[in-house]
Amino acid sequence: PAPPVAAKEDFLGCLVKEIPPRLLYAKSSPAFPTVLGQTIRNSRWSSPDNVKPLYIITPTNASHIQSAVLCGRRNGVRIRVRSGGHDYEGLSYRSIQPENFAVVDLNLMRAVCVDDKAGTAWVDSGAQLGELYYAINKASKVLAFPAGVCPTIGVGGNLAGGGFGMLLRKFGIAAENVIDVKLVDANGKLLDKSSMSADHFWAVRGGGGESFGIVVSWQVKLQPVPPTVTVFKIPKTVTEGAIDIVNKWQVVAPQLPADLMIRVIAQGPKATFEALYLGTCKTLMPLMQSKLPELAMNASHCNEMSWIESVPFIHLDHKDSLEDDLLNRNNNFKPFAKYKSDYVYEPFPKTVWEQIFNTWLLKPGAGIMILDPYGAAISATPEGATPFPHRKGVLFNIQYVNYWFAPAAGAAPLSWSKDMYNYMEPYVSKNPRQAYANYRDIDLGRNEVVDDISTYTSGKVWGQKYFKNNFQRLAITKGKVDPTDYFRNEQSIPPLIQKY
């Protein structure tokens, strides 16, 4: 139910006492649509039928965030937090059901401070990953950070939900490389690792955004990379043997040395093998010839470069200036999109690859499949060490990506996405069918709110898919740090209150 108008006015009245008015945007303000729209990445969530926030607050320091939480609590206005706005279902800035909420948009808080001697950095949540990578490289050519592939992703959401990219086999997920945080909790208190409970610190590193407070900044452990790495992209069509090579890749790629990551982008009748190797072409070639000779990789495929250059090379397929590729926050690629994900533990029979390449990827509305091999570091960490549970035995992760560019063109891609997901069921993880929290998929389920609290039973439906047995510990932690469920969205962790 809508709060009385007076309550809304009180919220704004409360905010203006603590936060400069130039950092506040009411729905009626002329700049509101621009500020709201600037980091919407999925155009499906731009249309007028989405439930929008009443206010947007763009803090420039932690005390503004504390004030926003305290004013929100006093006046019955919830807060959703947005860092990079890449949430696949747009839950950082829209609500699916009618709700009065404000968005704390961290766009203006994006400092990165690297201590190359200690091998650590503090990064604000509103920085994009490209800004973090760039700042690390400015300080040291032999340090890196293992987070997502796309440079415009927000640090806040990516680290909160796990975060992986081409370094996942060497260094695991971003969240397990977080060593401290500064966070505003549901009481408006500013906490760090030493002042929050061990469970709270565990939960913010991979338990998904929104649920456990607003992370202002993260201290991360940087990881060593050699001055020269090697990248290749080798496309193979079905007529060039793509099916046989992918069939072999699925068992070989998870067993390779940790220094080598070979992912596959499957699109139409073609598989592109994209690799990052933490070493030179000279040592990569014999490795490829012994492990996956079918790919016929040779010196002409090698692109030797620094790790920082490999980021845009993998993502964008080209090399502009690093500044353009990594620091540009105005990416205009804003398609309509639907994403789903799966985890695979048993190699697919070859007939499944045949079906995928000869039938599914050729259908009207067909999407792209991104196949990320696991093994090595990401699989070595115990399932309970962080909330991210997709570890031992995972061969690869699948992301199904569907894009379209006209509002009315969604029917075929949306039905492909659903049908493809149904087709894959027998061949992927079961009980639960696992999914990656950062590839948010609302079809997996959403919370029911009873007596103003999201219920544990409704959360369990989607939550065990993202977090397996870690879901219960996340819910108990939520019950301790935010028992009244102030920070919530349709897939936030519900509070499980334990009665002793």
Residue ranges in contact with ligand FDA by CB under 6 A: 41, 80-88, 91-92, 106, 125, 148-150, 153-154, 156-158, 160-165, 209-210, 214-215, 438, 489
Smallest distance from ligand FDA to CB 111, Å: 14
Instruction: Rank residues 161 and 459 by Cβ distance to ligand FDA and give the closer one.
Output: 161
Smallest distance from ligand FDA to CB 212, Å: 7
In whole angstroms, give the CA distance from residue 252 to residue 249: 5
Smallest distance from ligand FDA to CB 224, Å: 21
In whole angstroms, give the CA distance from residue 226 to residue 323: 22
Handedness of CA 155, 156, 159, 165 (dihedral sign): negative
Element (H or E) spanning 211, and its range? none
Instruction: Rank residues 55 and 357 by Cβ distance to ligand FDA and give the closer one.
Output: 55
Residue 103 pairs in a beta bridge with: 56, 80
- Please provide residue 311's backbone torsions phi and psi, each rounded to the nearest 5 degrees: -65, -55
Instruction: Rank residues 137 and 438 by Cβ distance to ligand FDA and give the closer one.
Output: 438
Smallest distance from ligand FDA to CB 3, Å: 21
Smallest distance from ligand FDA to CB 486, Å: 13
In whole angstroms, give the CA distance from residue 48 to residue 60: 29
Instruction: Rank residues 247 and 477 by Cβ distance to ligand FDA and give the closer one.
Output: 477
Smallest distance from ligand FDA to CB 124, Å: 9
Smallest distance from ligand FDA to CB 78, Å: 11
Q: Which residue, among 253, 422, 271, has the nearest Cα to 354 in the 3D structure?
A: 271
Instruction: Rank residues 89 and 259 by Cβ distance to ligand FDA and give the closer one.
Output: 89
Q: What is the CB-side half-sphere exposure of residue 498 using CA atoms within 13 A?
A: 10
Instruction: Rank residues 247 and 470 by Cβ distance to ligand FDA and give the closer one.
Output: 470
Smallest distance from ligand FDA to CB 214, Å: 5
In whole angstroms, give the CA distance from residue 73 to residue 56: 16
Burial 172-198 (b: 16+ CB within 10 A, else e): bbbbbbbebbbbbbbebebbebeebee
Distance (Å) of CA 89 to CA 411, 460, 469? 17, 19, 24
Instruction: Rank residues 113 and 251 by Cβ distance to ligand FDA and give the closer one.
Output: 113
CB 344 within 8 A of CB 165: no
Q: What is the CB-side half-sphere exposure of residue 75 using CA atoms within 13 A?
A: 24
Number of H helices, E strands in the chain: 16, 20
In whole angstroms, give the CA distance from residue 322 to residue 350: 41
Smallest distance from ligand FDA to CB 260, Å: 18
Could you give the 3-state DSSP secondary structure of residue 407? helix
Instruction: Rank residues 8 and 41 by Cβ distance to ligand FDA and give the closer one.
Output: 41
Distance (Å) of CA 311 to CA 60, 140, 229, 307? 29, 16, 11, 7
Element (H or E) spanning 52, and its range? none
Instruction: Rank residues 130 and 281 by Cβ distance to ligand FDA and give the closer one.
Output: 130
Identify the DSSP state of 326: H
Residue whose pair of structure tokens reads 């490829």 in the numeric block = 288
Instruction: Rank residues 148 and 238 by Cβ distance to ligand FDA and give the closer one.
Output: 148
CB 103 within 8 A of CB 57: yes
Instruction: Rank residues 287 and 368 by Cβ distance to ligand FDA and give the closer one.
Output: 368
Smallest distance from ligand FDA to CB 293, Å: 29
At 450, the amino acid letter reads V
Smallest distance from ligand FDA to CB 289, Å: 29
